[in-house]
Amino acid sequence: MNLAIRSSKVFSGPSVYAQFPVILFSLSESITSPERQTAAILLDALEGILPGLRNHMESCGVTAGYRQNRDEGASAVCHLFEHACMVLQGVVGIKPVCVRAEASRWLGVSDAVVPYVPEEDPDICFHSAQLAVELLAAAESGQLTRSPEDAERLGFDVEILLSKFHAFVQKHRLKKQDHALISAARAGGIPVRKLAGRLLVLGHSRYQQRINGAKTSFTNVVSDDIAANKDYTRRILAYIGLCAPRYKRVNTEREAAKAAKHIGYPVVIKPNNADSGNGVSIGLYDRSEVREAYKRAREFDRSVLVEELIEGNDYRLLVVNGRFCTALKRIPAHVVGDSVHSIEQLVTQVNSQFRLGTDQASMLTTLPLDELADRLLLVQGYDRQSVPAKDVIVYLRRNANLSAGGIAHDVTENVHPENRKIAERAARAIGLDIVGVDILTTDISTSMWENGGRINGINSRPGDIFHLWADVDKTGQALKAIMEMLFPPNQPALVPIVAVTGTGDTETTARILASMLTKAGRQVGLMVGGRVYSAGHETALRDISPPDAARAILLDPDVDVAVLELKPGDILSFGLDNNPINHTVIVNSSRSGHVDDTGELFNTDVLNAIRVAACATIDTIYAFDGDDFATSIIHGIALPRVCRIVTKTNYSKPTTSHPKSTSWSILAKMGLRTKSSKEDQQMVAHEDTLLFGGISPEQFELLRTRLTASAGDMDTDSALRAALAASAAAIGLGIESSHIYRVLSECRFKI
């Protein structure tokens, strides 16, 4: 089988395929070849490489012929391909779910749809798809084996392919601290978007905040430079009376040796500007060691520090927005003897069983066994082949950096109040929003003023905030502090998003609504007619898809409300952005509610496209009363509110007023019973009725007269429906009636 991926298309948000991000793959037509192996045979072969694949497929609820071991249809192979992609992503910790049951009616015989995790790089899904294709092809040709001997004979090494895939994922995955921040933000209702690398955007438009590793929108550039320079940092700390180790900044080996003699052995040599413990040598006792350590430090920075050695434990206190948050006790890389295995064997065991990589995609990194480790082993009386006694700790590093194989334990509850204040003062003195204050002391539970502790450094990238890792920050205090700094209580994080869709004049509706909002002083991000406008000004974006337009608007710091024209055809082709819609306005033409001879609505593709937008709506759907087309879309959706726009002049006025409307706006509440397609349970959504879109009957008649006189080639009925739909949405957004009617009275439906 010449299975290959012909094309692919990313749907970054809700689409006709799923309510979450997916990638649509079109596979080569050769998968329908009569001589191709059945899906069941391919599944049997793949299961040895991807354990659990069969259970994964059978748990998705899609009936497929592979269960009867006789299906030769292309759809079964596509289904197998989908699950192979998902299992491969699951192996590296990404666990999407099957969507074929929901998307099957939209898939061709050679199509496959694979979900991906939105905060992860879609390239991970693409790579899993390419690997799945290679595995399927190898399964059919009989090359699939884990045996090294057979792999060499057949010329297809599965282990190498899987290893390369793991390496790619480790390189491109976000770190655990990033996932922790994403989870905390979403738990608070704050959307997160990954821009590139580790750069995350939290919130929308003018309320957005950005975070990249340990740097946020509030990180002071000058303070970050100071923290990176150990000499500058210690000078500032000394100026305000905070204790740091005695040190000397040097630029030659001779100066280093002279400084060490003056300070007194043992000493520490470190680069002035380097992180992750690079180039640091601890516990030097003579001139020759100082010279060698100086050379190592010079590899990372031209300027080197020689400082006194402070005995004690290594602690990192996290300060967020000037307030102490959590504390870790950092322990250098080490192994624990068992009286059986050598140090080299112990290191190999630990690295193979517990460590997941050296790029900090996991908290733990591989234990080092190199020249520096050999030197420290010699000091302790060991070498690599030594067998330490049971429970004896053998250190491989003096510095406790987690990037060098160290580990950390939470000691927040043990930190003395005075030490908390010292950390806060140090952080404020440097001026950073998120900072790790490194303290060397014999006992963190007693005051540094009493036990001779010292501030060893200020870190603007505190181990990439290892305090956030689940196995350290069990209370979630660090996450809470960071989120409250970025988004203080009662401060908005989102801008309202309004979608305008349907078979009617959606462009005019969107423009009228944007004009009403602009009159009210709002800064509108508008996508209409394939173009994007920011605060009334046209941008350079042309012929743009709805997801790309939404992204452009929600990243624009000038915008405080978004209005998106979503044509049904564009929704079918591109889907939506991965952000919930607050209000959806369904503007159908007065002729779009017709049914055919069977009683079914015509053009079900359009109906389903509009339904995608309706399902993504979290606040209100606006639709015209008597619009059967819209009724079909709304049916079955559990909504907080549906608002019907009434245009009948003889409509009987209810007595209840719309809470957000003007005095002439009318509201009638009733229960709208719908059924959940899965649980088959009845739920209640509220349907409101808004007469004439919120304007008075007199204004409605005047508007109709003006439109009839000035519309020209414009369909008066379409223009009237567009005006009323925009008015209703404006009322829902809290816009005053004066701004609404001012726009309508001018009959200016273009901005």
The model's pLDDT over 667-676, given as tens digits with 9 standing for 90+, comes to 232 222 233 3
The helix (H) or strand (E) run that includes residue 39 is helix 39-47
What tokens were used for 578? 């991965």
Distance between CA atoms of residues 207 and 298, nearest Å: 44
pLDDT (0 to 100) of residue 402: 72
**Pair 222, 431: CB distance under 8 Å:** yes
Q: By mean pLDDT, which of 62-71, 565-574, 656-665 is the weakest?
A: 656-665
Question: Residue holding tokens 């919130």?
Answer: 203
Residues present in the chain in total: 751
Query: What average pLDDT does range 586-604 have in this prediction?
Result: 58
Res 601 pLDDT > 60: no
Angle at 593 (CA atoms; ends 592, 594), nearest 5 degrees: 95
Distance between CA atoms of residues 333 and 400, nearest Å: 7
Res 343 pLDDT > 50: yes
Res 46 pLDDT > 50: yes
Question: Residue holding tokens 């043990």?
Answer: 414
pLDDT (0 to 100) of residue 183: 86
Which is it for the CA torsion 348, 353, 354, 356, positive or negative? Answer: positive
Distance between CA atoms of residues 172 and 197, nearest Å: 8
Pairing of strands 5-11, 22-27: antiparallel
**Pair 265, 256: CB distance under 8 Å:** no
Confidence of residue 80 (pLDDT cuts 50, 70, 90): confident
Assign residue 486 a region (left: φ > 0; alpha: ψ between -120 and 50; beta: otherwise): alpha
What tokens were used for 295? 């050379």
Confidence of residue 362 (pLDDT cuts 50, 70, 90): very low
Res 503 pLDDT > 50: yes
Class of domain 246-308: alpha beta
Pairing of strands 323-331, 281-284: unpaired
Query: What average pLDDT does range 708-724 have in this prediction?
Result: 74
pLDDT (0 to 100) of residue 682: 34
Question: Residue holding tokens 């359009």?
Answer: 606
pLDDT (0 to 100) of residue 649: 63
**Pair 319, 427: CB distance under 8 Å:** yes
**Fold (topology level) of 497-746:** UDP-N-acetylmuramoyl-L-alanine:D-glutamate ligase (3.40.1190)
pLDDT tens digits, 218-255: 999 999 999 989 999 999 999 999 988 999 999 999 99
Helix (H, G, I), strand (E, B) or coil at 711: coil
Angle at 378 (CA atoms; ends 376, 380), nearest 5 degrees: 75
3-state secondary structure 192-232: EEEEECCEEEECCHHHCEEEECCEECCCCHHHHHHHHCHHH
Res 577 pLDDT > 90: yes
Res 410 pLDDT > 70: yes
For the CA atoms of 587, 590, 595, 600, the dihedral, rounded to the nearest 10 degrees, stands at: 10
pLDDT (0 to 100) of residue 685: 44
**Pair 673, 682: CB distance under 8 Å:** yes
Distance between CA atoms of residues 445 and 610, nearest Å: 62
pLDDT (0 to 100) of residue 664: 28
Res 29 pLDDT > 70: no
pLDDT (0 to 100) of residue 564: 96
Angle at 235 (CA atoms; ends 233, 240), nearest 5 degrees: 100
712 DSSP 8-state letter: T
Res 62 pLDDT > 90: no
Res 61 pLDDT > 60: yes
Distance between CA atoms of residues 313 and 408, nearest Å: 12
Helix (H, G, I), strand (E, B) or coil at 698: helix
Closest CA to 562 of 505, 500, 506: 500
For the CA atoms of 385, 391, 396, 402, the dihedral, rounded to the nearest 10 degrees, stands at: 140
Which is it for the CA torsion 476, 479, 484, 487, positive or negative? Answer: negative
Res 58 pLDDT > 50: yes
Give the contacts of 16 (CB within 8 A, at least 6 positions apart): 103, 106, 571, 572, 575, 608, 609, 612
pLDDT tens digits, 525-536: 999 988 999 988
pLDDT (0 to 100) of residue 360: 41
pLDDT tens digits, 670-701: 222 233 333 333 333 456 677 666 777 777 77
Query: What average pLDDT does range 355-366 have in this prediction?
Result: 48
User: Does 492 sit behind a cis peptide bond, omega within 30 degrees of 0 on the bond before it?
Assistant: no
Closest CA to 395 of 383, 377, 381: 377
Give me the residue spans of the domains in the chain. 5-171, 177-213, 246-308, 497-746
Distance between CA atoms of residues 32 and 76, nearest Å: 10
Q: By mean pLDDT, which of 245-254, 322-331, 632-641, 681-690 is the weakest?
A: 681-690
What tokens were used for 161? 């392919």
Helix (H, G, I), strand (E, B) or coil at 606: helix
Average pLDDT, the chain: 81
Residue 344 β-bridge partners: none
Distance between CA atoms of residues 738 and 445, nearest Å: 64
Which is it for the CA torsion 178, 179, 181, 182, positive or negative? Answer: positive
Distance between CA atoms of residues 465 and 450, nearest Å: 29
pLDDT (0 to 100) of residue 676: 35
pLDDT (0 to 100) of residue 361: 40
Residue 586 β-bridge partners: 501
Res 24 pLDDT > 90: yes
**CB neighbours (10 Å) of residue 707?**
21
pLDDT tens digits, 461-486: 765 566 665 556 666 788 888 999 99
